[in-house]
């Protein structure tokens, strides 16, 4: 994990910060996400049917479940010191090139694209986060995510 002072973060622009540890996306996580969001589509929840009728031969995680794991994964890649809070500020671009099968392992790869001072209290960082799937060629998710660091 990279530990860096907020004032020094700009020195890492254009670089890969690192990778998170692998995390397994379980069927229980997929079910909990479906229950929280009301998205109970069978490709996520019906194990027998998804195994039989989908090209993945398995239930798959919701794309937005994968995206929602970005903050959890990324907090294990970088520790920005000298800030009071980190706020998920938004996403400029979000794509889901490949599905995450139930039971698959994922991790994030973080690249710092930009850092800009908003004012005396706030600094906006733009990261490209690629959520990789163990053993797969295509990533599950590629996001240009924004983090607002507040002093």
Q: Which domains does the chain have, with CATH numbers?
A: 2-150 (3.10.129.10)
| Percent over 90 (pLDDT), the chain | 99
How many CA atoms, within 13 angstroms, populate the side-chain half-sphere of residue 109?
A: 11
Percentage of the chain lying above the pLDDT 70 cut: 100
pTM of the predicted protein model = 0.94
Distances (CA, A) of 96 to 11, 93, 101: 29, 11, 13
Distance in angstroms (rounded) separating the CA atoms of residues 9 and 142? 22
pLDDT at residue 96, as a whole number? 98
Both structure tokens of 101: 């099968």
Residue 115 pLDDT level (bands cut at 50, 70, 90)? very high
In tens, the pLDDT along 21-59 reads: 999 999 999 999 999 999 999 999 999 999 999 999 999
Q: What is the mean pLDDT of residues 139-150?
A: 98
């Amino acid at each position: 994990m990279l530990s860096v002072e907020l004032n020094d973060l700009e020195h890492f622009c254009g670089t890969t910060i690192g990778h998170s540890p692998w995390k397994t996306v379980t069927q229980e996580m997929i079910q909990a996400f479906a229950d929280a969001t009301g998205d109970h589509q069978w490709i996520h929840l019906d194990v027998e049917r998804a195994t039989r009728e989908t090209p993945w031969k398995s239930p798959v995680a919701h794309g937005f479940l994968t995206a929602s794991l970005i903050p959890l994964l990324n907090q294990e890649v970088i520790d920005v010191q000298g800030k009071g809070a980190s706020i998920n500020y938004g996403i400029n671009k979000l794509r889901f090139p490949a599905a995450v099968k139930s039971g698959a392992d994922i991790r994030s790869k973080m690249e710092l694209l930009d850092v800009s001072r908003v004012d005396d209290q706030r600094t906006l960082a733009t990261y490209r986060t690629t959520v990789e799937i163990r053993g797969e060629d295509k990533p599950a998710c590629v996001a240009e995510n924004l983090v607002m660091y507040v002093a």
